[in-house]
Amino acid sequence: MKDIDFLKLVKSNIRSLRPYETKEIPCRVKLDANESPYCIDITPDKKILQRINRYPDPEAVKLKKAISMALKVNSANILLGNGSDELIYYLITAFGGPVLYPIPTFSMYGIISQALGEKNIEIPLNEDFDLDIDNMLAAIKKYNPKLIFLSSPNNPTGNCFSAERILKIIETSKGIVIADEAYQPFSSDKGFLPLLKDYRNLAILRTLSKIGFAGLRVGFLLADKDLINEVNKVRLPFNLNALSQAVALEAFKNKRLIESQIKNITSERERLFEELSRINNVSPYPSEANFILFKTKNADIVFKKLIKNGVLVRNLSSVVKDSLRVTIGTHGENNFFIKALKKSIGGKA
């Protein structure tokens, strides 16, 4: 066998990367990944399996049509991705860096920038987790970023950024501003879709992942058709498989059901927020998403005790001091979590 050091062989920007954390810790209640606790029973058209020997529709025409109707945007303004992660990859592949984003935020903006060897600029959010507008504008002036990613509601903090500040950034930037609206359906804010026509450098990312279909891997980019055209040049031809296309198409027929599930989740979020506020040494941050970030003493220990007590949350203490992120589950799951948290904090586990 040849003695090859692959670490030496790999590109230098890849060398320091680590594979995305995917270790599954089995737990009775899984509240770590911002998934929906509800599973909608959808059977795709049987015909799909009778032609599974064929490549999928590379343009996903029917699915685009359904999205177009649901969101009232033209099909020419939509690009579909194997999850919005893939669209972030395509955006950075097509336009390159510098890539600017506030922190803490969704980790993929940084990971993908690094994987593609593009410069990334990180500007800390202010103490309210809102955009530090002066520093953002200064960074735009200094680096002239090609892409600016703004997750609003922001993962992991849960708040929306001030619309006024986002607008200021859109107006100042010569590059593209991507409003990542993965959690918009849970927000009281209407998001930036109504402004798409007004700003050519505004792009919006949405996904089916947080509203019940994380397993499908379907995300969409909504933007000016010329922008879509550029990103489409780097898209792999069959990035959305036939089964995902078919199931997603059916999903759009269940709009009412999905909307009622979202209502349940947001009302459970308010209840959970109240419950968390009442626990000593725990303080939740207000959320417009399907998760709550909360501070707790000894977060690392509480995280481990929660696992022992049957609940998996996300440990974010390396990102926001002493904080954990819990996804909103069903009523029963949330009760189970609250009990487990009280036990975990009380010391007995």
Closest separation between CB of residue 345 and ligand PLP, Å?
27
Nearer CB in complex with ligand PLP: 136/179: 179
Whose Cβ is closer to ligand PLP: residue 111's or residue 340's?
111
User: Contact positions toward ligand PLP, by CB under 6 A?
Assistant: 34, 83-85, 106, 151, 155, 180, 182, 207, 209, 214, 219
**Least distance from C-beta 284 to ligand PLP, angstroms?**
18
Specify the DSSP element, H or E, that contains 237: none
Give me the least distance between CB of 142 and ligand PLP, in Å please: 25
Beta strands in 214-322 (DSSP E): 219-222, 282-284, 291-296, 311-312, 314-315
In the complex, residue closest to ligand PLP by CB: 83
Output 291 or 294, the one with its CB closest to ligand PLP. Answer: 291
Could you tell me the smallest distance in angstroms from the CB atom of residue 151 to ligand PLP? 4
Local structure of 122: helix, strand or coil:
strand
Give CA–CA dist 131/139, Å, rounded: 12
Smaller CB separation from ligand PLP, 207 or 317: 207
Q: β-strand 311-312 against 29-30: which pairing, if any?
A: parallel
Distances (CA, A) of 316 to 101, 184, 283: 18, 22, 14
Choice between 216 and 338, CB closer to ligand PLP: 216
- φ/ψ of 292, rounded to 5, equals -130, 130
| Joined tokens for residue 115 | 């994987």
| CA-based torsion, 65, 68, 74, 77: positive or negative | negative
Q: How far apart are CA 159 and CA 152, in angstroms?
A: 7
Q: Which residue has the tokens 């320091």?
A: 16
> Of 145 and 156, which CB lies nearer to ligand PLP in the complex structure?
156
In angstroms, what is the minimal distance from the CB of 217 to ligand PLP? 7
Distance between CA atoms of 60 and 86, rounded to whole angstroms?
A: 16
DSSP states along 8-46: HHS-HHHHT-----------SEE-SS---S--------T
Residue carrying structure tokens 């780097």: 234
- Minimum Å gap between C-beta 348 and ligand PLP is 33
With respect to ligand PLP, which residue has the nearer C-beta, 94 or 214?
A: 214
Closer residue to ligand PLP, CB minimum distance, 155 or 315:
155
Find the shortest distance in angstroms from Cβ 163 to ligand PLP. 17
Considering the complex, what minimum distance in angstroms separates the CB of residue 303 from ligand PLP?
Answer: 19
- Least distance CB 281 / ligand PLP (angstroms): 27
Count the helix, strand and coil residues of the chain and give each as a percent rounded to the nearest 5. 40, 15, 45
Phi, psi values for residue 72, rounded to 5°: 60, 45
Whole-number Cα distances in Å, 293 to 137, 288, 323: 27, 11, 7
- Quick one: 167 or 214, whose CB is closer to ligand PLP? 214
